[in-house]
Amino acid sequence: MSSISDRGVAKRIFLSLLVAGTVFIGPSSLSAFADANAVIGMNNEGVKALNAGNFALAIQKFEAALQMDKSYQLARENLAIAHNNYGLQLAKSNPQEALKQFHQAYYLNKTNATTAQNVEGIIRMLGKDPRDFKTRIAMADQARMSGDFVGAIVEYAEALKIKDDAKIHVKLGDVYRVRDNVDDAIKEYQAAARSGDSAEVEVKLGQALQAKGDLPGAVAAFGKALQFNPTDSDTLDALQAAWEDALKKDPLAPDNHIGLGQALQFRGDFGGATAEYKQAIQLSKGNNPTAQRLLAALPDVIKKATIDKHINNGVDLQSKKLYGPALEEYKLALQAAPNNPDIWVNMGTVYQAQEDYQNAINAYQKALQLDPKNSAAAEGFKSCTDSLQEKQIAQAEGAAGDAYKQGKYDESVKLYTALVQKDPKNAAYYYNRGAAEQMLKQYDQAMADYNTAMGLDPKNKTYSSAMESAKEAKVKPIIDAAVAKHQAKDYAGAIDGYQAALAIQPANAPLWFNLASAQYAMENYSRARDAYQKAMEVDPKGQIDDLYLMAVIDEHYGKGPQAQGEYQKYLAQAPSGKYAQQAKERLTALNRGDAPQKIKGVEELAKEKAADDAYQAALNLDKAGKTSDAIAQIQTAIANAPKEPDYYAVYGSFLQKLGKFDDAMAQYKQAASIDPKNPKNQEYLNAINDAQGDKVAPIADAAVKLQQDGKYQEAIAKYQEAIAILPNNGPLWRNLGSAYQAADDFNNAFNSYKKAYAADPKGEVNSLYFMAVIDENYKRGQAAFDKYNQYKREAPAGQFIKEANARIAALSKNVADTIAMQTQAEAKADAEVQKLIQQAADAYNQKNYDLAIGLYQQIAQLKPKEPSIPFSLGAIYQSKEDWSNAVQFFQQAVNMDPKNKQYSEALAAAKASAVGPVMQEGYQKQTAGDFAGAIPLYEKGLQQYPNNAAGWTSLAACYQATDAFQKAYDAYKKGYDLDPKGQVGNLYFMGILDENFGKGNQAWNEYRDYVAKDPRGAYASDAQSRIARLGKNVNDVVKLQTSGQVKAQGEAAAAYDAAVKLQTDQKYDESIAKYKEAIALLPNSDSFYYGMGTCYQAKNDIDLAIEAYKKAISLAPNNPTYKQTLSGAQQIKAAPLIDSAIKKQTDAAKPDLPGAIADYEAALKLWNDPSTHMNLGTAYQAANNLNRAMQEYNTALQMDARTCVECYYYRGTLWEALKNIPNAIKDYQSYLRAAPSGQSAGPVRERIKILAPAGKR
């Protein structure tokens, strides 16, 4: 046998792709290499489109390459990159389409973490949660419905990572089936079976296995499906189809005919099953025990199937409540199996459902005869027997109840009597019969039945209520007759009737009360008391008033202490009861030692009634405005009850209303004299005072009018006239004091206030304050101080408490610092001032500021020591924007009253406004970018008004913009110190400046202070970042850029933007010039070098592009984009050499192996690519330089074993050539593990068979 090295080694060439993948050249076909060249060319076109940013074209080219060679891994990887980059390009403009591109990229390369992150990121951009199971399922379903199967696969798979779910495995398997990816579909269906198996899952698994050609597996799956649902038509169809497929492959196999026969038998196709079993016997030369056994059993199977069919039909109809048709099916089943107890049980359940209990019992009995141990039949028999009896009883109960409702009470009694005989322990029957008897007015019989019901069911309140109802019905006519006699004053007859009713209803409290009332009317007080007592025992709460009546009777019999106790008990239990007032009066009388009161006789009561009627009539007439007529009626009341004080008091009120004050006072005095112990006497005496007040009222009103008119002496005389009538009236003395005070007679005013307070210390407490004011007027500071304090103690919330507190505070500092009272002349001057103030206010409101100023100047002459006058002048000048005069007068007000905060604030605001134009000009220059011009203006304004916190902050910003960092820090601090709350942001800028000064710890504290005081401030986020950075290393400070650096950055950014635009417009030379301009300004910007590299590459100057990319990488070594782009440029540079090498190596007429090796090695210097190392290895192997070939294969596998998997095969052939069979076998096995269906899998397996036959491996 020839060695492998002799068999066209030169043709086993591995060619590299230009981007990042591989294509294989078979060892036996140059036409395959020609196809590989086309694949490489198509891939190269895709790479060019990818580098140019034309992702759609790149995708088209890579897909075309994969259509040519599906195993072309590099094209697959490039396609994934193209989809990913296309998604990035679409992310902002069309996120939904971008998601589709990311799905494609992830599907092609599921190990790419970046693409996975892109998928999640775009889902978040769409406002959804990528970690939510339901969200991923919804997206998958949507993709599936829109025909985006790749998107559906990705989303279902990601959902399953969140939660394992059998239904989702099935959905994912279905999508794989649609894409004809049977192996993956089988894996998903198997996963679904593990999570939650079902007939549906097993059927789908069987169909997938059948599609793969795994008939045994498919049949097993269909068998499991039938275990879940033996009648499932889909499963039966699939099982039959599986055996039919088996027969197509091997029509002469008896087992296949047996399998199809069983499938047909399961479907109920017994004819077809018979034919298949016979065919199996025939193919077995007449001897197939399995087929013969199945064929012999078919008659019984058919019979059982027929019975089962009728039973199943019956059950189905019964479940739909179609009881008639269900019975017919069960009867058909009985024809085939009359001794089947289960069918009889099913029939019994139908009859039972129809409430045909007798037929149900018969059916259950038949079942029990056939199977005495049938528990279902036994339970059904018992249940129906009970139900039948209940039904019969219910019918009898219904008939009795219907008779009662229809008024057929005699019939109802008879029916309930029959029920009682059947069930003598049923209380309801006695109760219902009693109700019918009561309707027949057979009260004694009814009560007897109610009594029996109560005995059987003592807790049933309905029965006891019915008993009471019957008693009430029996006793009602007796009570009605007794009440009629009572009303007719036939007390003896009424008593007999009440007693007869109580014999039937002894617990009727109102009856006992009525009996007591009749006995009381007959003046049989002793028995009346007993009856009242009995009523209370029956109903203590409802008859509580009876306790008062018992006390009255006890008092009548001289039992004073007993009556006292009963009155007290009555008031305790019924404080607002019917007789509460009378009980109070009697209790008070007995408590003070009065003799017990006799019950009044008829004559005495008649007089009292006459007096009360006249009294009520008097009140009604007075209410109607007929007071004169009311007097005659009240006089009649007094005549009938001369000892009733209230009548005299009412008589006095009538006289007072008519203006007869002296007569009224005489009546009030009479009322108070009747009973010295009467608690209402004080009311009568107060009424005398009220009458005196009414008498003096017109005099006092006249005095007030005179005082209001300024006629103080006449008013004083009138007040004195009123006081002569009411000498102890505090308000009159106070008014007299105010009249004296108005007349500037402060001494008499003081004395009047003093008498007012003496007459009514509580009501006239304000007089203390008035006396204190007068004490101050006479320079009696200590006396005034004492009275103010007394007023404060007695009236802490009094009308003048604020003023009193102010004077206490002043006098406590200097008791001689008294205030003189204003005389009439001074008051007149004040009035003139108020008039001028009003005129000035009117002028001000009309914006006639000069007139207002003139009026206030007049006021200043009248009130030269009043600070509010210059303050008002300052405010007017402020409105005129005359800041100089405004400041002057505000300053004057502050000098006169330094403690007035309003004056100080107004002065400060005026000063700020005075410098406003200067500060505004500074602000305009600052916002225009003229920081140097703004600084002197801000400094000038702050010199004039240094308390402008915001001004210091603005000045600080200008200092910072002009690189005067220390001045900036000082100004920020000044602004913050003046207004810590309003200028809290200055802390942040102070921190930035301290960082620039290298004071990391101080900056860290300032940032923390800022965040603590303004956690949601404009700079809070950046301050938090700076706190974190300095917290790790307090020396890791960030220096500020100078204005020159900032300017350079701005110019560089502008140049870079211009370069990008020029590059976009394909003006490459101009663009490169701009890139170089930007680099000159910022030589360490990696992005500038990278941009310039892309521009060089766009104009096909690959060498300069590579140089620029390398510079960008040196500045940013961790940027993967720069490295990837450099690799792409190097690929393009190396491409001609690789193309040349391939042509030289594969020239059929005259291969140039040394030339190919030279080109490959030159290409590797430009681009160190694993595929090129592999191709170089094939060239060395073809040139029989096995050691160098081994080195190149080793290098390729070390760089990328997955892409260069063919190296295992090639290296294995080298080991064979070197007679190292173990290493050769090891490499061949490595190949099969890595690529079991790879391009060289067939030859590899052949070599293993030869080198390591079965049993020796």
* pLDDT higher than 60, residue 1: no
- The CA–CA distances, whole Å, from 24 to 723, 736, 1075, 1117, 1156 equal 134, 129, 43, 34, 17
Handedness of CA 909, 912, 916, 921 (dihedral sign): negative
**Angle at which helices 289-319 and 254-267 cross, to 10°:** 20
Q: What is the pLDDT of residue 385?
A: 83
Cβ atoms within 10 Å, residue 846: 10
Q: d(Cα 37, Cα 896) in Å, to the nearest integer? A: 105
Top-confidence residue, 112 or 805? 805
pLDDT for position 36? 57
List the CATH code of the domain at 395-472: 1.25.40.10
Tally the C-alpha atoms within 13 A of residue 153's C-alpha that lie toward its C-beta: 23
pLDDT grade for 20, boundaries at 50, 70 and 90: very low
Over residues 1145-1162, mean pLDDT: 88
Are 766 and 800 within 8 A, CB to CB? yes
Which amino acid is it at 960?
Q
For residue 1050, what are its two tokens? Answer: 């701005």
- So what's the pLDDT on residue 325? 93
Summarize the confidence of residues 476-489 as an average pLDDT: 90
H or E stretch at 23: strand 22-24
Alpha-helical segments (H) within 109-165: 113-125, 133-145, 149-162
Residue type present at position 19 = V
Judge if 395-472 and 1045-1118 fold alike in CATH terms.
yes
CATH match of 826-914 with 3.40.1390.10: no
pLDDT score at 23: 28
Q: Are 1159 and 1138 in contact (CB under 8 A)?
A: yes
Mean pLDDT of 260-266: 80
State pLDDT tens for residues 652-682.
899 988 889 889 889 989 989 998 888 888 9
Least confident of 191-195, 281-285, 750-754: 281-285
**Tens digits of residue pLDDT in 1080-1112:** 888 888 888 988 998 998 888 989 999 998 998
- Per the DSSP assignment, residues forming a β-bridge with 15 are 23
Q: Where are the beta strands (DSSP E) in 344-433?
A: none
pLDDT of residue 786: 96
Classified as helix, coil or strand, 1116 is coil
- 165, pLDDT greater than 90: yes
Structure confidence at residue 31 as a pLDDT band (50, 70, 90): very low
* CATH top class, domain 473-601: mainly alpha
* Helix and strand counts by DSSP (H, E) for the chain: 63, 2
Question: pLDDT tens digits, residue range 922-975?
Answer: 888 887 889 899 899 989 888 878 888 888 999 999 998 899 999 999 999 999
Burial of 84 (0-12, 13-18, 19+ CB in 10 A): buried
Helix (H, G, I), strand (E, B) or coil at 429: helix
Amino acid letter at 147? G
Task: Enumerate residues 6+ apart whose C-beta is below 8 A from 87.
Answer: 98, 99, 100, 101, 102, 105, 118, 122
Rounded to whole angstroms, the Cα distance separating 128 from 110 reads 22
Q: Which CATH architecture has domain 690-822?
A: Alpha Horseshoe (1.25)
pLDDT score at 1253: 65
CA atoms within 13 A on the CB side of 918: 19
| Distance (Å, whole) CA 571 – CA 959 | 91
Average pLDDT on 1180-1199 reads 93
The full set of domain ranges for the chain reads 302-383, 395-472, 473-601, 690-822, 826-914, 916-1041, 1045-1118
Coil, strand or helix at 362: helix
Using DSSP, state whether 1064 is helix, strand or coil. Answer: helix
Class of residue 250 by CB neighbours under 10 A (exposed 0-12, middle 13-18, buried 19+): exposed
DSSP classification of residue 9: G
Q: How far apart are the C-alpha atoms of 952 and 970, rounded to whole Å?
A: 9
Phi-psi domain of 268 (left: phi exceeds 0; alpha: psi -120 through 50; beta: other) = left
C-alpha pair distances (Å), 544 with each of 143, 507, 549, 561, 588: 85, 16, 10, 19, 20
Reported as a pLDDT band with limits 50, 70 and 90, residue 35 is low
The identity of residue 783, as a single letter, is A
29 pLDDT above the threshold of 60: no
pLDDT digits (tens, 9 = 90+) for 546-594: 999 999 999 988 898 998 999 999 999 999 999 999 999 999 989 988 8
Mean pLDDT, the chain, integer? 86
What CATH superfamily classification does 1045-1118 receive? Tetratricopeptide repeat domain (1.25.40.10)
| CA–CA separation, 744 and 824 (whole Å) | 7
SS3 of the chain: helix, strand, coil, percent, to 5? 75, 0, 20
pLDDT band at 348 (very low <50, low <70, confident <90, very high): confident
Burial class from Cβ neighbours inside 10 Å (0-12, 13-18, 19+) for residue 180 reads: exposed
Round to whole Å and give the CA distance between 226 and 242.
14
User: Distance (Å, rounded) from C-alpha 38 to C-alpha 50?
Assistant: 18
Beta bridge partners of 22: 16
Looking at domain 916-1041, its CATH architecture is Alpha Horseshoe (1.25)
Dihedral sign of CA atoms 414, 419, 422, 426 in order: negative
Cα–Cα dist 672/678, whole Å: 8
Whether residue 16 is predicted with pLDDT greater than 50 in this model: the reply is no
**What whole-number distance in Å separates Cα of residue 1176 and Cα of residue 1169?**
11
CB atoms within 10 A of CB 1004: 20
Angle at 1217 between CA 1212 and CA 1222, to 5 degrees: 50
Q: Among residues 376, 420, 373, which one has the least CA distance to residue 400?
A: 420
Q: Of 42-56, 289-303, 375-389, 522-536, where does the model show the most confidence?
A: 522-536
Average pLDDT over residues 326-334: 87
Of 329, 331, 275, 315, nearest in space to 298 by CA = 275
Please state the three-class secondary structure of 691-733 as a single string.
HHHHHHHHHHHHHHHHHHCCCHHHHHHHHHHHHHHCCCCHHHH
Residue-level pLDDT at 5: 28
For 302-383, give the CATH class: mainly alpha
State mean pLDDT over 240-250: 78
